[in-house]
Amino acid sequence: MLLNVCLSTAYVERARGLIERGATAAGRGVDGIELGMMIVVSPDEDSSAGKDRARRFIAVYLAMFPNIARETGLPAELLAGLSSAVRDDGVEAGAALIDDAVVDSLTAAGTPDECRERLDAYRRAGIELPVLIPLEGAIDAAIETLGETPV
């Protein structure tokens, strides 16, 4: 099973619980169910640069996909403001509303060590197959610094 991008580890834990309950109700075990997730990665030696790339992606993605935005657990006021800002004033206006805590919650962005820490948090939450989605400008860095991240 593959979970969507821009969701937190808390979402992963909730989803895993629902999957386990569904499997049990169907008389099946969860051993044969591998849980994967698309995870935005934006490694950069400059933590702020990596997070800024992710901030812009988050703004666009959550503005375009309100169903995913609702699952983030972010306040409704922030989500409404984000959608309006992106629609009315563009990506940079929406990105300005996304703080580092949101970036850290929904992506693996920042220094390579910060990215590895976030990927480890997703694994602890139950992700067995992280599918890394490197952002434009971070593709080479993702390959070079996260390509050998243990599974």
pLDDT, tens digit, 9 for 90 and up, residues 30-85 = 777 889 999 999 999 999 999 999 999 999 999 999 999 999 999 999 999 999 99
**Where exactly are the structural domains of the chain?**
2-146
Residue 6 to residue 65: CA distance in whole angstroms: 10
DSSP state of 135: P
Classify residue 100 as exposed, middle or buried by CB count within 10 Å of its CB (0-12, 13-18, 19+).
Answer: middle
pLDDT for the residue 148: 63
CA angle centred on 95, ends 63 and 89, rounded to 5°: 70
The residue assigned the tokens 């909730």 is 14
pLDDT, tens digit, 9 for 90 and up, residues 108-147 = 999 999 999 999 999 999 999 999 999 998 888 888 888 7
Question: Domain spanning 2-146: which CATH class is it, in words?
Answer: alpha beta
pLDDT at 150 over 60: no
pLDDT for the residue 26: 85
